[in-house]
Structure 1
């Protein structure tokens, strides 16, 4: 361990984890479930739907914010000095578990009703990339870089990864097709390595969590880690929050300025998208720290910390249980969740509001599961 890394560890070990960081992560999980489970029967509000390709909505902020929050947590999880072999074993073990959980989540419920009754869902048609899979790959890659690079080197590595990803898209995609959904080099790599059967079924040969996109997505994790270091090493908290806000504004403007050449696109995870989302996350985290840690406004924070303490378990439950609900027949609808959205929430408030109320009700159900687990002291750790 270098002297710089030792100083970093000492600084982190001497300060407690800020409540604002757990609230920030919990709020991200809340919004993630709300976006992922929009109520059926009507179109959701446009801001709660991912941009089709180029563009940006509130929904597009959720996933990079979770990566940013993960990096933030890593700045505390890695604060104790650990020998290289145990560190690598823990890093790869946790990454592998998260990856496998993500894969099994897409395979669930493992069976389907075919011509001969219930049959095992074929492995050849199971999606390999995914949200948790990308989290796992980014976690491992960022962890390796954090282990051996100083903060300034991490910053330079992040810049190199964004520029390198841009260069790869431009240099190895067919001429003029670098930002085409199906022709870009990232999609071609996924098709070559995995085949269309293992990719996202709704996009016909394109996967928004493809392998090449791991490079720029890891920058969101590194940014969260560096923000965590800045918080505990920055001295006076008001000054640190002010600097975070300034950097956040600069990054948002930089992302917008880059977008004419490298368009903002969540599904392609472009460099401009990374700068924009990191900038917004710095502003949001800075606001949370100011409100909770400086102004002392802590009322209601437990609502979000319940989600923030058990993010993996609550996310898995939210994805799996809605699948179970949709497997249970209910009247003329395809499943219980669809029936609830159409027959109950659309009757109460037709249109987008009903869709939002249905998603909110389901999100609160997931929160209740988190509350119950919190009372039992059950924490799912990979």
Structure 2
């Protein structure tokens, strides 16, 4: 087996990180009685960070790494086949998100009180909720960020992507500072834009703030691009080294990246609060840093030390 084949061998720790994140999603969405939830299973009300706030950004970070892996077979060259695959996947994920939103609305209205309505009228009232269905959401954000990241990866030189990430995050921070972006009310620029384009009927109801809104998609794309860069750092190696040596070098890089991003995120939070609902730049840095460090830990436990029984 040559060194390149060894390099491309699947890294089990990435699968475990994905599985842990999905398990976390299930747990935080089903925490028991909603009136009595343990504090770590709650989202931060506004500024701040809880373990629950790590689940979604960890998944987006993993999606960035997976995007690197999936596009590698196209040699990162733009083609009709690659573009159609990206477009198809983006549309399908977005439509799944809309379908989930419609189903939740259907169940909510079907289980509600419908006094004086016939069965047909009740069914129609539950089915036809498109005038108040939420347009954006978790799956929709994943779709938009995947599509943007994949197109950027195929059309831009990879060594320039870190500069694009920095530009997106700095530009978004300036937008927040100039547009009252840290206000938890309808004067926030994010709320103003979402209400103007999406309209309140199609938004998440949270003080006028949609946590998966239009403008906050900008730093979310930077978030997935950070995951893409980490994937490139981990897997783009032509050196004639053993798999063990490569994994050890990955560990050093991942821990270093994780420590720098986490430290930078917490340090800068004094001027730019860590906030999931507006996906602040410091939220991007901190969560990507923690995800990188956690992935490095899993690689050390599973792929280097070989503790796989558990």
Superposition TM-score, scaled by structure 2 size: 0.87
Match in the other structure for 1:209 = 212
Check if 1:246 corresponds to 2:250: no
- Cα distance, 1:48 vs. partner? 1.1
1:13 to partner: Cα distance: 10
Equivalent of 1:166 in 161, 173, 188: 173
- Post-superposition shift, 1:55? 0.5
Q: Displacement, 1:150?
A: 2.4
Q: Distance in 2 between matches of 1:41 and 1:19?
A: 35
Q: Is the Cα–Cα contact under 8 Å of residues 12 and 79 in structure 1 kept in the other structure?
A: no
Cα distance in structure 1, aligned partners of 2:5 and 2:181: 42
Aligned positions, number: 286
Encode CA deviations 1:105-147: one digit per residue, 9 max, x unaligned.
Answer: 0110564343423322421111111000000000011111111
Per-residue deviation, 1:83: 5.2
Contact preservation (8 Å) 1:124, 1:197? yes
**TM-score computed with the length of structure 1 as normaliser:** 0.71
CA contact (8 A) 1:110 1:121 kept: no
Change in CA separation of 1:50 and 1:247 when aligned onto 2, cut-off 3 Å:
same
2:242 alignment counterpart: none
Structure 2: how far apart are the matches of 1:109 and 1:66?
22
Residue equivalent to 2:46 = 53
| Matching of residue 38 in structure 1 with residue 31 in structure 2 | yes
Which of 265, 274, 279 is residue 255 of structure 1 equivalent to? 265
Aligned to 1:364: none
- The equivalent residue for 1:200 is 204
Give 1:152 deviation, angstroms.
2.1
Q: Find the aligned partners of 1:110 and 1:59 in 2 and give their Cα distance.
A: 24
Deviation at 1:204, TM superposition (A): 4.5
Q: Give 1:279 deviation, angstroms.
A: 0.5
Task: Give 1:283's match in structure 2, choosing from 257, 278, 293.
Answer: 293
Q: In structure 2, what is the Cα distance between the partners aligned to 1:189 and 1:13? A: 49
Q: CA deviation at 1:215?
A: 0.9
Q: Report the Cα offset of residue 244 of structure 1.
A: 1.1
Give the CA deviation at 1:191: 0.4
Q: 1:13 to 1:178 in 2, by over 3 A?
A: same
State the partner residue of 1:122: 129
d(CA) in 1 for partners of 2:99, 2:79:
30
1:371 is aligned to none
Q: Partners in 2 of 1:211 and 1:244 — Cα distance?
A: 31
- Secondary structure in structure 1 of the residue aligned to 2:253: helix
- Aligned-pair CA distance for 1:267: 0.5
2:194 aligned residue (190, 202, 208): 190
Q: For residues 164-192 of structure 1, what are the alpha-carbon distances to aligned partners after superposition, in whole Å with 9 as ceiling and x for unaligned?
A: 11112223x2xxx2211322211111100
* Contact 1:20–1:289 under 8 Å retained in 2: yes
Q: For residue 19 of structure 1, report the CA deviation from its aligned partner.
A: 1.0
Deviation at 1:14, TM superposition (A): 6.1
Deviation track 1:219-269 (CA, whole Å, cap 9, x = no partner) reads: 221111111121123552212211210121111111111111111000110
C-alpha contact 1:102 1:132 (8 A) present in aligned 2: yes
